[in-house]
Structure 1
Amino acid sequence: MRPSHHDIEPSRRMRTRGKGDSAVTANHPFEQLGTEQLREHVAQQLRRTRQRSALLTDSVDDDDLVRQHSRLMSPLVWDLAHIGNQEEIWLVRDVGGREPLRTDIDELYDAFQHPRAQRPQLPLLGPTEARGYVGQVRDKVLDVLERVPLEGRRLTEHAFAFGMIVQHEQQHDETMLATHQLRAGAPVLEAPPPPAASAGPLPAEVLVPGGAFTMGTSTEPWALDNERPAHTVHVDPFFIDTVPVTNRQYQRFIADGGYDHPRWWSEAGWAYRQRADLTAPRFWTREGERWLRRRFGMTEPVPPDEPVVHVCCYEAEAYAAWAGRRLPTEAEWEKAARFDPATGRSRRYPWGDADPTPEHANLGQRHLQPAPVGAYPSGASPLGVHQLIGDVWEWTSSEFHGYPGFVAFPYREYSEVFFGDEYRVLRGGSFGTDAAACRGTFRNWDYPIRRQIFAGFRTARDARPDELG
């Protein structure tokens, strides 16, 4: 179970100073819920999440469900049964202590046993059988939820295991949404367009002051192991883009020969750009003087004011170098998103501690595209940085490692086995990320070559002494 998807090393921009003080981190709404209210909240989250899974799988016929639309992705029917299998293993067998339903399929749906490219050749459950299986599992899970004590075990405290499974299913829903983007054929998904920009003219960049802040969390009940523990990190002053890089800005990079000049690219990035013949973001095509994109079965002009999406980390680095800037580190991104200079504390989200609403961010497949920059002024951080949550995952320059004091929980394969220099951290979530699987501390990771994910970026630069007043 993992998302689509840095020991904090001392550096000039970022220095660890020991364990953070939980007194300066956010309180969670769970603290106001009684046990029965928490059970009802979990049940609502499970139902809401399953409705999304059903939408993504019921919107196509059985042939589409079993077809592999890209070797990068599983057949949709694999994702569906895998969701049910993980739910059975953790909630029915472990938390509930119930008899297994289908131990015979555990190996089939173990993501570590079978690479995505090989999954169509497995004897997978068919669409009808997969739907029946996940329904049976869910019935047992709801019974477990009514009866199990939500205390006494770390796995059940604050219903953590149930929250882990909600997040797991939502992560696979986003993966299935990416599969829909890769499938050929007529559109099958519908959603209203995102809101228009309403923030008015915004500055190009925002100064984030230097100093210490609390990164990560030790108090968020459903936070995953790689988000923990809270710890104090020092970040030197820097400037960060007020909004993500837009399609209009990225087109200037293309027009200036950005894909043709190796000086903008890292050695690994240039090698991949040549090997993969990159010339524009994935799903873009040129028609005369204009750029078009394919989006969930539709072809349309590229909207100039939306954040660019479907670019890999190497493309983001090249753009940043061309612009005379760089990608932010993960710590810089989180400080820009969470730090409140008035109180010195780290918020749960840029706008505060309250859960996201449609006024705060473009999340949860509510819209099937990023919103124009400036569309969510209510979601801005105290420093005035916009759209840090939702719209597009944002590449950072940081590799994926555990925080100081990291402890794997509830199993090493969620995070720890991925630590190292192969993966880059992404932050903030996308329009396809659900609010349950997105926080100011949430960490996603993927290979720097990945382009099918809903990823964009914003850039940063070091602050000069004369800019600090």
Structure 2
Amino acid sequence: MTKCVSTQCLADFLEDANCRTRELLLDLDDNQLMGPKLPIVNPILWEVGHVAWFYDQFILRMLYRKEPTLKDGDKLYDSIDIEHYDRWDLPLLSTPDVLDYIDTIRQKLIDRLGPISGSNMASEQDSFIYQFAVFHEDMHTEAYLHSRKTLEYPSPNLHTSKPLINSELQNEKLRGDVEIPGGTFLLGSQPDSPFFFDNEKWAHNVPSYPFKMARLPVTNKDFSEFVADNGYNRRDLWHDLGWNWRNRAEAEHPTYWVADGKNQWLEKSFDNHIELVPNKPVSHVNWFEASAYCNWANRRLPTELEWEIAATSEPTDGGEKFSISKRQFPWGDTTNTIGKSNLDARTTDTVDVNMYSAGDSPWGLRQMIGNIWEWTASNFEPYPGFRPDSYKEYSQPVFGTRKVLRGGSWATRSRMIKNTFRNFYTPERRDVIAGFRTCAPFDWT
């Protein structure tokens, strides 16, 4: 199921996740916590209650047969049964009451772990479901940041936000592609992985052809050339569904770009407009926009197989093959991400694509973890032999309707992300902190 971790680790995760939730909640007024009805956001106040309900439902109630902590919780916070647009019209708990709700549940969860110490190991079952529920909260705190950007709320003041250290500021500039050989690759997570979601199970052999992948993600400067070349209005560059989306959205440029009237671009960043930085990765572009850019540049999106090969394997035989063994992260198996990647909202923004050379993969690819989620060409589909975990609605209902993203953004929690993590969104989503890197066209000669 997963490797056992200490009760201290689980208690610390619960406390830290709750701290992040409070930091993203408490500086907003009641109107902001509800916000307008939009298809891409939830009311933040509803989401916080849903997170509390999730802990209660999937740990205390399902596993340990406890009574609901909140009598009418199912009617208020069950995301499966409550339609999206109904969430604004429910008699939700007030901010103080919803925080009391989550505090009560968190204390119940900690109490039932027994002695909290680094030497007291939780059961395999608790190690899995507690981490899963914390990661669920982590996903929602990243969604709160998406919502705050979408709704132009102020940038939050987070305790993890700190100045970059010297090793992170090193700007060894990279260019071009890396050549990665073909072979047979073990795609997905293995049973001895520290933690894995159901859609990562199980690792299975997949043949791969040789490919060339960009060392860096596509930058604002790169994408601005596509915009300047009328890329949003050239029908030949767009998939049919993408062209339909582009016309409905009347898109002419990335959603947060704003013309300054002087032939330059500004970028919306929460409630501010800032100068568009050329060497930062383009972000908040959807899969259709990424694909159109690739067609314009005579490139393509990598498959998730290619992405995972590039992030987890090492060159062998002088670069003629890739290793059978896989790394948890591009830089190795150490979970310390400081100085190696832009995660945990340490910057509350993207950074220059040349930064974090200490996090390079053995192939010389940079920022494969952190900064931006990266769209891939792949549809989100089950791996062979897929079986859902206890939260059956996590992956199974949306197979075949989403595109896969890899790598994590600056808002992603470092405890959750690793090379095999599969994120998934519908291809029209622009609110996600997502960009992309490219591959050269297949060479079939």
Structure 1 position 283 matched with structure 2 position 256: yes
Give, as a single letter, the amino acid of the residue that structure 2 aligns with 1:137.
Answer: I
Name which of 125, 128, 136 aligns with 1:155: 125
- Structure 2 counterpart SS, 1:303: coil
Name which of 427, 437, 452 aligns with 2:431: 452
Structure 1 position 386 matched with structure 2 position 366: yes
CA deviation vs aligned residue, 1:307-350 (integer Å, no higher than 9, x gap): 11000100000001100011111111111111122443111111
In structure 1, what is the Cα distance between the partners aligned to 2:418 and 2:28?
31
Cα pair distance change 1:205/1:380, threshold 3 Å? same
User: Deviation of residue 59 (structure 1)?
Assistant: 2.0
In structure 2, what is the Cα distance between the partners aligned to 1:258 and 1:67?
33
User: Deviation of residue 72 (structure 1)?
Assistant: 1.8
How is 1:134-213 mapped onto 2 (pairs within 5 angstroms)? Answer: 134-146=102-114, 150-151=122-123, 155-156=125-126, 159-189=127-157, 191-192=161-162, 198-213=170-185
What is residue 84 of structure 2 aligned with on the other side? 116
CA contact (8 A) 1:269 1:314 kept: yes
CA deviation vs aligned residue, 1:366-399 (integer Å, no higher than 9, x gap): 1111110111111111111110001111111111
RMSD: 2.1
User: Deviation of residue 71 (structure 1)?
Assistant: 3.9
What is residue 33 of structure 2 aligned with on the other side? 65
In structure 2, what is the Cα distance between the partners aligned to 1:66 and 1:131?
15
How is 1:60-139 mapped onto 2 (pairs within 5 angstroms)? Answer: 60-68=28-36, 70-139=38-107
CA contact (8 A) 2:24 2:156 kept: no
CA deviation vs aligned residue, 1:216-274 (integer Å, no higher than 9, x gap): 11222321100111111211010111011000100000011111101111111111111
- Structure 1 counterpart SS, 2:77: coil
- Structure 1 counterpart SS, 2:114: helix
What is residue 394 of structure 2 aligned with on the other side? 414
User: Deviation of residue 67 (structure 1)?
Assistant: 2.8
What is residue 5 of structure 1 aligned with on the other side? none
- Structure 1 counterpart SS, 2:344: coil
Structure 1 position 269 matched with structure 2 position 242: yes
CA contact (8 A) 1:194 1:369 kept: no
Give, as a single letter, the amino acid of the residue that structure 2 aligns with 1:269.
Answer: G
User: Deviation of residue 149 (structure 1)?
Assistant: 8.2
Give, as a single letter, the amino acid of the residue that structure 1 aligns with 2:24.
Answer: L
In structure 2, what is the Cα distance between the partners aligned to 1:311 and 1:117?
25
In structure 1, what is the Cα distance between the partners aligned to 2:240 and 2:442?
27
CA contact (8 A) 2:172 2:355 kept: no
User: Deviation of residue 188 (structure 1)?
Assistant: 4.4
User: Deviation of residue 51 (structure 1)?
Assistant: 0.9
Name which of 36, 40, 49 aligns with 2:8: 40
Name which of 330, 343, 357 aligns with 1:363: 343
> What is the count of residue pairs matched by the alignment?
429
- Structure 2 counterpart SS, 1:108: helix
Percent of aligned positions that are identical? 34
User: Deviation of residue 437 (structure 1)?
Assistant: 2.2
Task: Using structure 2 for the length normalisation, give the TM-score.
Answer: 0.91
In structure 1, what is the Cα distance between the partners aligned to 2:414 and 2:155?
25
CA contact (8 A) 2:298 2:441 kept: no
Structure 1 position 258 matched with structure 2 position 231: yes
User: Deviation of residue 198 (structure 1)?
Assistant: 2.1
What is residue 440 of structure 2 aligned with on the other side? 461
CA contact (8 A) 1:215 1:346 kept: no
Structure 1 position 373 matched with structure 2 position 356: no
In structure 1, what is the Cα distance between the partners aligned to 2:215 and 2:307?
12
In structure 1, what is the Cα distance between the partners aligned to 2:108 and 2:153?
37
CA deviation vs aligned residue, 1:150-208 (integer Å, no higher than 9, x gap): 44xx633xx00011011000000000011111224554446456576524231311111
What is residue 328 of structure 2 aligned with on the other side? 348
More deviation, 53-62/190-199: 190-199
What is residue 409 of structure 2 aligned with on the other side? 430
Cα pair distance change 1:182/1:325, threshold 3 Å? same
- Structure 2 counterpart SS, 1:360: coil
User: Deviation of residue 144 (structure 1)?
Assistant: 1.4
Name which of 12, 15, 18 aligns with 1:50: 18
Give, as a single letter, the amino acid of the residue that structure 2 aligns with 1:429.
Answer: G
Give, as a single letter, the amino acid of the residue that structure 1 aligns with 2:289.
Answer: E
CA contact (8 A) 1:350 1:440 kept: yes
CA deviation vs aligned residue, 1:392-419 (integer Å, no higher than 9, x gap): 1111111111101211112321111111
User: Deviation of residue 111 (structure 1)?
Assistant: 1.2
User: Deviation of residue 464 (structure 1)?
Assistant: 3.7
Give, as a single letter, the amino acid of the residue that structure 1 aligns with 2:439.
Answer: A
CA contact (8 A) 1:178 1:453 kept: yes
What is residue 23 of structure 1 aligned with on the other side? none
In structure 2, what is the Cα distance between the partners aligned to 1:111 and 1:414?
11
In structure 1, what is the Cα distance between the partners aligned to 2:231 and 2:444?
30
